[in-house]
Every structure is written in C-alpha cells, then in structure tokens.
Amino acid sequence: MKVGFIGLGNMGSAIARNLIKAGHDLTVYNRTRSRAAAFASLGARVAETPAEAASDAEVLITMLADDAAVEDLIFTPGNSIFASANTIEALAAGAVHVSLSTISVELSRRLAESHREKQQHYLAAPVFGRPDAAAAAKLFIVAAGPAEQIERCRPLFDAIGQKTFIAGEEAHAANVIKLAGNFLITTVIESLAEAFAFGRKFGVDPHTFLDILTNSLFTAPVYRNYGSMIASDKFEPVGFKLPLGFKDNRLLLAAAEKAAVPMPMASLVHDRFVAALAQGLGESDWAAIARVSYENAGLRKEITG
C-alpha cells in the first residue's frame, strides 16, 4: 500500500519502521529532516514537504504532538511551520487520512467533515502503548470511522499493533476513548504515588510494597510499569514526556466541560501536572507527577538522600 507518513518522533519512527518491514511503500516527512533522512536507507522516499508526502498516497498517516501541529499541517497553506502547500488539497480524492495522534474531540470532528467535503476519508486511530511497544509492533489501536475504510487500513494496523479495537462509524469516538484511557492511566499514577508515599512514611520498602501489590491485587502492566518507576523514583528514560500528558489532560477537561461532565479527579491530576512543571520536571516522564505526592508528604529529602 502507498503510504504517506508524517511525524517521525519516538512513536512515529517506530511505527514507520514496522510499516516498511511489512512491505508497505512509504514516503516520509518530518520537520527535522535528519529524522526522515534516516529512512531512505530502509527503502522509504523522503518528501521535501508534507504535501509531497500526501500527493501520491492511498493512505496518509499522521503522528503529531498536538492539535496545533495537526491543524497547521492539514489546513494551513504555504506560510505554515511546515512550509508547504495545504496538505488536504494535495491528498487525492478517495484517499484516507489516518490520524494516530492524541487530539481533541472537536478537531477530530472537524477533520472528518473537512475530508468528507474533499471526497476523502478520515479515520481516527489513536494508539495505546509506549515507544517500546511501538517498536515491538505491540500497540493497541482504537479505530473509528467508516467501516470499509477501517478494513482497507487493517493491513497497516496489523503491521503496527497487537490488536485493533473498532469504536464505531464516528471518528471522534476513538479520540474520546483515547483521552479517557489516558485519564485512567494518570489516576493510576496518582493513586500509586499516594499509596507509595503512605507506605514510605511508615518505613515500608517500596519495592517490597510493589512486589506484593503487583502479584496479588493489581497485576496489570500499567501497575507494574508505573509502579516500578514510582518505587525507584526514576522517571528517565522518558517514554511519554510530562507536558504531553498535561496536554491530554487539558483536552479531556475541555471536552468534559463542553459536555457538562464533572471530572473532579481529572482536575486534581491537572493540578499535579502544574505542580510538577513548577518543580522543573518538564523533561521527565509523565509518571513524575508522583514526585508531587512525595514532596507533599515531606519525603523528597529522604528519597534523594
């Protein structure tokens, strides 16, 4: 399948490699050209602009950081940060845009409508998984949009993930699920942080505590992986940078406010992100919000020695 792939960060690079391994014909673009150039040796064509990457694609895949980047890429003509023609104009009628990015519900709706007006197709297909899962082609994909287009793209999804969940015909449903899922991860991080702070205050060894919890009541990988980071108070190497987690939290709260859904725990997590950023943790993994609980419990000096 001819694929235009835009956005070669840690997640995007791993996904693009797996698509090439699966035999798909990729044209790649990235604002930092050196990231894209590395794919030439793998058999990909390197585009000079996003519009060029889109122009010959049956499927255009985007994996970008936020709403602003996606909007600028798709809708803004030549004076954009991507310095290209309007990408939606370059995409052929009948082609499909697959957004793997975690974006707002409203932008997903706008993308679906805009592509429909151009006789193109749009799928929202955000993923659950960190860069190591992306490299191993073990992502979980949540796909929503026209059923026939999901089936058309299934070979691509099969090449990058271990399972694809279908969330319905309305593309924005996948973004709702993704934001809700990330919200639940942050509540796990927050609850683990509070529980570990409580245990440490009473002299309980955090790794013993982790071993007991994850081999009895809480066996899921999310508890094991984030619990290990919190027990060790080590949030590097970064799998998902803290400001990106904060961005997702803000998108969730904005959608919840518009739909009149109170989410008090999300508001608490929002304040944890703000506090973590104030403490200089912007380059850390998003699990570093746990340090706020340690700080509040007066444990930071004890932990850092």
For residue 79, pLDDT beyond 50:
no
Least confident of 95-109, 179-193, 220-234, 288-302: 288-302
- The fraction of the chain above a pLDDT of 70, given in percent, is 96
Mean pLDDT, residues 144-167 taken together: 98
Confidence of residue 159 (pLDDT cuts 50, 70, 90): very high
- Looking at residue 85, its pLDDT comes to 59
Q: Where in the chain do CATH 1.10.1040.10 domains reside?
A: 176-304
For residue 82, pLDDT beyond 50:
no
Mean pLDDT, residues 135-162 taken together: 98
- Looking at residue 86, its pLDDT comes to 80
| Residues identified as active-site | 178
Mean pLDDT, residues 43-54 taken together: 94
- Looking at residue 165, its pLDDT comes to 98
- The fraction of the chain above a pLDDT of 90, given in percent, is 93
For residue 78, pLDDT beyond 80:
no
Query: What is 176-304's CATH number, 3.40.50.510, 3.90.25.10, 1.10.1040.10, 1.10.1240.10?
Result: 1.10.1040.10
Mean pLDDT, residues 117-122 taken together: 98
- Looking at residue 305, its pLDDT comes to 57
Q: Where in the chain do CATH 3.40.50.720 domains reside?
A: 2-169
For residue 204, pLDDT beyond 50:
yes
Confidence of residue 17 (pLDDT cuts 50, 70, 90): very high
Question: CATH assignment of 2-169?
Answer: 3.40.50.720
Distance CA 195, CA 201 (A): 10
Distance CA 17, CA 162 (A): 16
Interacting residues of 31 by C-beta distance below 8 A, sequence separation 6+: 81, 82
- Judge contact between 120 and 91, C-beta under 8 A: yes
For residue 145, pLDDT beyond 80:
yes
For residue 120, pLDDT beyond 80:
yes
> Average per-residue pLDDT in the chain?
95
For residue 150, pLDDT beyond 90:
yes
- Looking at residue 301, its pLDDT comes to 72
Mean pLDDT, residues 183-212 taken together: 98
Distance CA 168, CA 273 (A): 32
Distance CA 262, CA 108 (A): 22
For residue 84, pLDDT beyond 90:
no
For residue 222, pLDDT beyond 50:
yes
For residue 105, pLDDT beyond 50:
yes
Q: Is 166 left (phi over 0), alpha (psi -120 to 50) or beta?
A: beta
